[in-house]
Amino acid sequence: MKGNFWLMIAAASLYLCVALSLGLWISIVTKSQMMANQIAILTTYLPSLLLSNFVFPVINMPKILQMLTVVVPAKYFIDILSGVYLRNLGLAYLWPSFLILFVMFVLLMFFNYRSLKKEGL
């Protein structure tokens, strides 16, 4: 590992917050555990694997899929990890990905709060 260990820990923590808040939102919106499990796989696991620049380069994807990768949190996490691990980049270069992950977290927590309020909890 070439980069800062604490920067990687901060990125992983932020990504986990986004993933957990997305899972919480899916759990709030769905009525059964089976439905929540299937929606979580379709909306998190598959896009994170296929559309995040982890397996397939985004630059080689069709334009419609490139536009779809903008909403995949794993794309930004992998950008940060490759910057920290391989290129020894600091926060000065990685702040846009951190900012997008933070905005995703805030929006998801807002949706969670609103959905729980609507349920009466």
Structure tokens at 44: 């998190």
Q: How far apart are CA 14 and CA 50, in angstroms?
A: 21
CA-CA distance, 80 to 20, in Å (whole number)?
19
Q: How confident is the model at residue 5 (pLDDT cuts 50, 70, 90)?
A: very high
Q: What is the pLDDT of residue 24?
A: 94
In a domain, residue 101? The reply is yes
Please write the tens of the pLDDT for every residue from 25-72.
999 999 899 999 999 999 888 888 888 888 888 899 999 999 999 999
* Domain assignment present for 109: yes
**59 in a structural domain:** yes
* pTM for the whole structure: 0.89
pLDDT tens across 71-94, in order? 999 999 999 999 998 898 889 999
Residue 121 lies in a domain: no
What's the pLDDT score for residue 36? 93
Residues 102-120 pLDDT 10s: 999 999 999 999 999 998 8
Q: According to the model, what pLDDT value does residue 1 have? A: 76
Structural domain including 82 reads 5-116
Cβ atoms of 120 and 32 within 8 Å: the answer is no
From residue 113, alpha-carbon distances to 3, 11, 107, 117 in Å are 36, 24, 10, 6
CA dihedral 15, 101, 51, 81 (to 10 degrees): -60
Q: What local confidence, expressed as pLDDT, does residue 119 receive? A: 83
The reply to whether 84 falls in a domain is yes
| The pLDDT of residue 2 | 80
